[in-house]
Structure 1
Amino acid sequence: MKEGSVIPEDFLLYSKQAKALYHDYAKDMPIIDYHNHLPPNEIAENKKFKTITEIWLKGDHYKWRAMRAMGVDERYITGDASDLEKFKAWAKIVPAVIRNPLFHWTHMELKNPFGINKFLNEDSAEEIYHHCNELLAQDNFSTQGLLKGFNVVMVGTTDDPTDSLEYHKTLLNSDFSIKVKPSFRPDKSLIIGDAGNYRAYIAKLSQASGVDIKDVDSLVAALRNRIEFFAEHGASISDHGLNTVPSKISLTAAQKEEFKKFLAGAVDSFSDVDAFAGYVLTEVSKIYHEKDWVQQFHLGAIRNNNHGQMKRLGPDTGYDSIADYPQAQSLSNFLGNLSLEDQLAKTIIYNLNPADNDVFATMIGNFQDGKTRGKMQFGSGWWFLDQKDGMEKQLNSLSNMGVLSTFVGMLTDSRSFLSYSRHEYFRRILCNLLGNEMENGQIPDDEKWIGKIVQDICFNNAKNYFNL
């Protein structure tokens, strides 16, 4: 390709209808990024990044995995190499990742917001590095400037129950126009792993909540306290990152006594961690329903597989993958139990194993309540599936098994302020899917009709679903 045509205007749009849907209906819709891992302190402080490496490569597991596969030394990934050296190491392998979504994402993120529409490679690396760094020094490339530039209207961060939410409070009291809402992520309170670490966390939760946690009832009371605190700071969403939802949902009286002993240090392990997690998760889910929150479940990852690198680098360093856990029965038990007393909150379930797409797409249909439009959602392609094939498979499963027009659309689930190109990527894929079917007669060739559905999926459905 010639310079200037890496990401053309009609990228991924293969029919005139697809082009019309994207350019006239989807392209300029605002973004509601209802789940991400952006650091709220960096938004509140309106941080400026010194280099493209700092904003683009640090913490990006996708790029790290590709670099390792290409034989790049860890020094240039998570090690002590300079930012320029790390950027050059990444640029050198970009031509080799053709057909991996990284190739598209890389060039989309260079085009928007940096205006660079040329291939990144070993030859162009230094020029692109310095050009991006010059732009990053400008006010519209600060964290707040980038969010405005991407037309974001809401950011949903992911926060531990013990968090003070001081930066969210700062943002609430500022003149920053974009809503930055905390999301409640209580996984550490219900996953009993190492006894010492768990007890230390519970002590921290006790201090944050002002509740002396001595048993499971006081644990739930402490979590309720923090949910109310989060709500005071604008929260209305929770999130859980689990292998599966727990297969058990209740505790016996003996198990409750056992947990008291576990907290007190009288025993070093709990006999049924699945039952404990299921009980606590059920209780907090009832509170979400009471508060009219949305609960999210990200399911299906197997984490920290490389034990050697786990020991050397720690968790969340790029050694996670898709798992093949059974999902259907535990989902059915958990959601079904909450439905008994009409205590099931609006729910989004995200699947990491594409083999389970139809399981998730049909499961949500079991619990639509006939009152709330699209109450149960099959979440967008996530993590390893937020690429063209993964998104199309999710959209097709949702269309085949449910109602696509109620879908709340894309989110970044990212730690990077440059990931908003993922929304553009999703919108192009959605418009191409629908536009091609308009062209071949599978759906009506009515631009206004289908264009309205596109705009709903891109923005309007999420706006209504999250009560924004």
Structure 2
Amino acid sequence: MKRFMDEDFLLESETAQRLYHEHAAKMPILDFHSHVNPREIAEDARYRNLAEAWLTADHYKWRLMRTDGVEEKYITGGRAAGRDRFQKFAEMMPRAVGNPMYAWVHLELLRYFHSHVPLSGETAEEVWQQAGIALAEPDMTARGVLKKSHVRLLATVDDPADDLKWHAAIRADGCETAVLPTFRVDAILDIAADDWQNYMLYSLGAAADTDITTMEDVRTAIVRRLDAFAAQGCRLVDAGVACVRYYEAEEYELDDIVGKYLNGKGTPTPLEQEKYRSAILLLLGKECSRRGWVLELHYGALRNVNTKRFAQFGTAAGFDCISSRDSAEGITRLLDALDRLECLPRTILYPANPADNAVIGSILGAFPGEGIRGKVQQGAAWWFNNTRSGIEAQLTSLAGLGLLGTTVGTVTDSRSLFSFPRHEYYRRILCNFIGGLVERGEYPDDEKQLARLVEDICYGNAARFIGVDKNQ
């Protein structure tokens, strides 16, 4: 029997162990999709205890606690002490057997808090105290965590109307880790949202110094904000939609759609909404191509499905699920429209539904780019798929249908600065997958080729794809 989470955790062969310890583990991290608040980095925040570090905004943890029947006052806080909240989380952990959270939590305890104690209700006090000692160390600040984690680059997702003052402060202060904003357009795309009108007129319009009345005004505002993001080093645009549809429309139609809602004349029909979103995605693709940026498209998640809880806690609180709607035709129509215009950018597709693995794998080869390895990518197993089985399924599908050696690896997709061991989790599974191929005689035991393969997937491919210096 193996020891709990030893140095060869998830590495089931000698080849896998060699690939991980000699290559993957040594690579820095390029985390190009993060929900970390840049203010924490700008102010080099400190965390007083594990409740602050872990439970402040992590809806992955919140979902498990709710599933365990924990009272809400211990989950989103406000009415319970941090130590009590942590106790409830610790009591839940033994029942998380097989969940990636179990591995992530214990990797974080080991890497940041010098603790190899399995977390439970009985061990909660010991772990709490040990973590408190570690958090009091001089270098356990936000920037200290980035340094400990060997993070070369972190890209946070930011609203287009954000003033980016925290990013400006980080750049002015000379942070060792490059921290860049990502242009997250969900608020622009969601024309059916109750607050879309106010957002466009008084948030986006004000930030872009643009009076928005027509579709061209929307484009002008977006381009101006893209310019502002570019000034802070932005390299990525991110769009999240429940389902990808692509419908072309005449300019007068788009003006009517935008004007209808801005002037309070009702909500656009579903088809009108899709025409508007298609025009926005087309613009973003063109701009990414022109600027040499990357377009990320996250799709297939049904958000805020529990309307009662959404009214109580708002979005990103853990009340989402996977959608089964088909997006293949919409994705291909969008990519084809951009390709016909000679402005298809480097693109990463993230399906929430694992059933789309093969669909995306088949799409990748239909939209190549001369001189660009993997111009259209399937992103790493996202959200509900970021499990051992989900990662293995994504790797298997991608290897079978495309070129695994060109993939840009994983991201944390997290609101916690202590989540970087998720890269370690992915890298161990990756090395175990490739090592298994070698052990079974399906790939040669060529150390030079294997080293290049693993190091590129862990870091090099993403550095080149996003356009940052590998030695940055």
* TM-score, scaled relative to structure 2: 0.96
Matched with 1:268 is: 266
| Cα distance in structure 1, aligned partners of 2:36 and 2:12 | 34
Matched with 1:62 is: 60
| Cα distance in structure 1, aligned partners of 2:195 and 2:378 | 36
| Cα distance in structure 2, aligned partners of 1:350 and 1:329 | 15
Show CA shifts across 1:412-434 (max 9, x none): 11101111011000110010111
CA shift for structure 1 position 387: 1.3
Show CA shifts across 1:289-308 (max 9, x none): 11111000111111111122
Q: Give the match's secondary structure for 2:173.
A: coil
| Partner AA of 2:335 in structure 1 | L
Q: Give yes or no for contact 1:7–1:111 (8 Å, CA) kept in 2.
A: no
Matched with 2:90 is: 91
Q: Percent identity?
A: 37
| Partner AA of 1:204 in structure 2 | S
| Cα distance in structure 1, aligned partners of 2:148 and 2:267 | 50
Q: How does 1:189-204 map to 2 (within 5 A)?
A: 189-194=188-193, 196-204=195-203
Q: Give yes or no for contact 2:188–2:196 (8 Å, CA) kept in 1.
A: no
| Cα distance in structure 1, aligned partners of 2:145 and 2:325 | 38
Matched with 1:352 is: 352
| Partner AA of 1:282 in structure 2 | L
Shift in alpha-carbon separation, 1:134–1:313, aligned structure 2, 3 A: same
CA shift for structure 1 position 202: 2.8
Q: Give yes or no for contact 2:257–2:276 (8 Å, CA) kept in 1.
A: no
Matched with 1:242 is: 241
| Cα distance in structure 2, aligned partners of 1:397 and 1:233 | 36
Q: How does 1:303-322 map to 2 (within 5 A)?
A: 303-322=303-322
| Cα distance in structure 2, aligned partners of 1:158 and 1:194 | 20
Q: Give yes or no for contact 1:6–1:118 (8 Å, CA) kept in 2.
A: no
Matched with 1:109 is: 108
Shift in alpha-carbon separation, 1:375–1:194, aligned structure 2, 3 A: closer
Q: Give yes or no for contact 2:114–2:130 (8 Å, CA) kept in 1.
A: no
Matched with 1:9 is: 7
Q: Give yes or no for contact 1:189–1:202 (8 Å, CA) kept in 2.
A: no
| Cα distance in structure 1, aligned partners of 2:247 and 2:382 | 26
| Cα distance in structure 2, aligned partners of 1:373 and 1:255 | 36
Q: Give the match's secondary structure for 1:368.
A: coil
Shift in alpha-carbon separation, 1:196–1:391, aligned structure 2, 3 A: closer
| Cα distance in structure 2, aligned partners of 1:460 and 1:454 | 9
CA shift for structure 1 position 323: 1.0
Q: Give yes or no for contact 2:335–2:344 (8 Å, CA) kept in 1.
A: yes
| Cα distance in structure 2, aligned partners of 1:202 and 1:357 | 38
CA shift for structure 1 position 448: 2.2
Q: Give yes or no for contact 2:42–2:167 (8 Å, CA) kept in 1.
A: yes
Matched with 1:170 is: 169
Q: Give yes or no for contact 1:105–1:422 (8 Å, CA) kept in 2.
A: yes
| Cα distance in structure 1, aligned partners of 2:195 and 2:374 | 42
- Does residue 372 in structure 1 map to residue 368 in structure 2? no
CA shift for structure 1 position 179: 0.3
CA shift for structure 1 position 137: 2.2
CA shift for structure 1 position 192: 0.7
Q: Give yes or no for contact 2:215–2:251 (8 Å, CA) kept in 1.
A: no
Show CA shifts across 1:24-80 (max 9, x none): 011010000011111001001000011111111222222222222222111211241
CA shift for structure 1 position 195: 5.1
Q: How does 1:24-39 map to 2 (within 5 A)?
A: 24-39=22-37
CA shift for structure 1 position 255: 4.2
| Partner AA of 2:329 in structure 1 | Q
Q: Give yes or no for contact 1:195–1:268 (8 Å, CA) kept in 2.
A: no
* TM-score, scaled relative to structure 1: 0.96
| Cα distance in structure 1, aligned partners of 2:308 and 2:205 | 34
Greater mean deviation of Cα atoms: 413-422 or 202-211:
202-211
Matched pairs, number? 465
Q: Give the match's secondary structure for 1:171.
A: helix
CA shift for structure 1 position 261: 4.2
Matched with 2:142 is: 143
Q: Give yes or no for contact 1:251–1:275 (8 Å, CA) kept in 2.
A: no
CA shift for structure 1 position 185: 0.9
Q: Give the match's secondary structure for 1:13.
A: coil
| Cα distance in structure 1, aligned partners of 2:367 and 2:420 | 31
Greater mean deviation of Cα atoms: 398-407 or 439-448:
439-448
Show CA shifts across 1:337-384 (max 9, x none): 111111111000011111110001111211112221221110001111
Q: Give yes or no for contact 2:20–2:431 (8 Å, CA) kept in 1.
A: yes
Q: Give the match's secondary structure for 2:184.
A: coil
Matched with 1:23 is: 21
Matched with 2:383 is: 383
CA shift for structure 1 position 463: 1.1
| Cα distance in structure 1, aligned partners of 2:15 and 2:432 | 8
| Cα distance in structure 2, aligned partners of 1:430 and 1:260 | 49
Q: Give yes or no for contact 1:295–1:345 (8 Å, CA) kept in 2.
A: yes
Show CA shifts across 1:379-438 (max 9, x none): 001111111111111111111111111111011111011110110001100101111111
Q: Give the match's secondary structure for 1:210.
A: coil
| Cα distance in structure 2, aligned partners of 1:254 and 1:32 | 42
Q: RMSD value over aligned CA atoms?
A: 1.5
| Cα distance in structure 1, aligned partners of 2:194 and 2:63 | 32
Q: Give yes or no for contact 1:304–1:315 (8 Å, CA) kept in 2.
A: yes
| Cα distance in structure 1, aligned partners of 2:388 and 2:398 | 15
Q: Give yes or no for contact 2:237–2:284 (8 Å, CA) kept in 1.
A: no
Q: What runs of 5+ residues in structure 1 fail to find an aligned partner?
A: none
CA shift for structure 1 position 197: 4.0
| Cα distance in structure 1, aligned partners of 2:428 and 2:261 | 52
Q: Give yes or no for contact 2:209–2:221 (8 Å, CA) kept in 1.
A: yes
Q: Give yes or no for contact 2:112–2:134 (8 Å, CA) kept in 1.
A: no
- Does residue 414 in structure 1 map to residue 414 in structure 2? yes
Q: Give yes or no for contact 2:215–2:254 (8 Å, CA) kept in 1.
A: no
| Partner AA of 2:5 in structure 1 | I
